[in-house]
Amino acid sequence: MPSVVGREVGTKGFGLMGFTWRPKVTPKEQAFQVMKTALAHGANFWNGGELYGTPQLNSLHYLHDYFKAHPEDKDKVVISIKGGLNANFQVDGTEENVRRSVDECLRVLDGEKFLDIFECARVDPRTPIETTIAVLAKYVKEGKIGGIGLSEVKAETIRRAHKVHPIAAVEVELSLWATDILTNGVAATCAELGIPIVAYSPLGRGFLTGQFKSLGDLPVGDIRRHFPRFSPENFPKNIELLHELEKLAEKKGAPLTQVALGWVKAQSGRNGLPTIIPIPGTTTEARLVENMHDVALSEEDLKEIDDILSKAVIIGERYGGGAAKLMDG
pLDDT digits (tens, 9 = 90+) for 188-197: 999 999 999 9
Gap between the Cα atoms of 282 and 22, Å rounded: 11
Q: Where are the alpha helices (DSSP H) in 255-296?
A: 256-266, 285-292
Q: Where are the alpha helices (DSSP H) in 123-255?
A: 129-141, 155-164, 186-193, 235-252
The pLDDT score that the predictor gives to residue 132 is: 97
The pLDDT score that the predictor gives to residue 320 is: 55
Gap between the Cα atoms of 41 and 39, Å rounded: 5
Q: Which residues of 90-108 are buried (b: 16+ CB within 10 A; e: fewer)?
A: ebbbbeebbebbbeebbeb
The pLDDT score that the predictor gives to residue 96 is: 96
The pLDDT score that the predictor gives to residue 15 is: 96
Gap between the Cα atoms of 5 and 9, Å rounded: 10
Which residue stretches of the chain have pLDDT < 70?
214-217, 221-222, 225, 316, 319-329
Q: Which residues are catalytic?
A: 52
User: What residues does each domain of the chain span?
Assistant: 3-206+258-294
Class of domain 3-206+258-294: alpha beta
The pLDDT score that the predictor gives to residue 112 is: 97
The pLDDT score that the predictor gives to residue 118 is: 98
The pLDDT score that the predictor gives to residue 244 is: 84
**13: three-class secondary structure by DSSP:** coil
The pLDDT score that the predictor gives to residue 258 is: 94
Gap between the Cα atoms of 306 and 301, Å rounded: 9
